[in-house]
Amino acid sequence: MKGGNIRYKITVHVRLSGGATRTLALDRPLPIAQIRKFKPELVVEVDRLLDRHCDREIADILNKRGLRTWEGKPFNLKKIDWVIVGGESGPGARPIDRSWIISIRNQCRTAKVPFFFKQWGGVRKSEAGREIDGRTYDEFPERTVVPIPHEDERAAKLAAVSQWDSLAAA
Whether 68 maps to a domain, the answer reads: no
Whether 60 maps to a domain, the answer reads: no
Whether 150 maps to a domain, the answer reads: no
Whether 118 maps to a domain, the answer reads: yes
Nearest alpha carbon to residue 120 among 139, 101, 147, 142: 101
What are the two backbone dihedrals, phi and then psi, of residue 53, each rounded to the nearest 5 degrees?
-135, 150
Give the pLDDT confidence score for residue 90 in this predicted structure. 82
Whether 18 maps to a domain, the answer reads: no
Domain that holds residue 98: 83-128
Q: Where are the beta strands (DSSP E) in the chain?
A: 9-15, 21-27, 83-85, 115-117
Number of domains in the chain: 1
Contact of 102 with 111, CB cutoff 8 Å: no
Whether 93 maps to a domain, the answer reads: yes
Give the pLDDT confidence score for residue 168 in this predicted structure. 53
What does pTM read for this prediction?
0.44
Whether 50 maps to a domain, the answer reads: no
Whether 63 maps to a domain, the answer reads: no
Which tens digit of pLDDT belongs to each residue from 125-158? 777 888 999 999 999 988 877 788 888 888 887 7
Per-residue pLDDT of the chain (170 residues), as tens digits, is 344 455 567 777 777 777 777 777 777 766 555 555 667 677 778 878 877 887 778 888 988 998 887 777 888 766 677 889 988 888 888 888 889 899 989 988 887 889 999 998 877 777 788 899 999 999 998 887 778 888 888 888 777 776 665 555 55
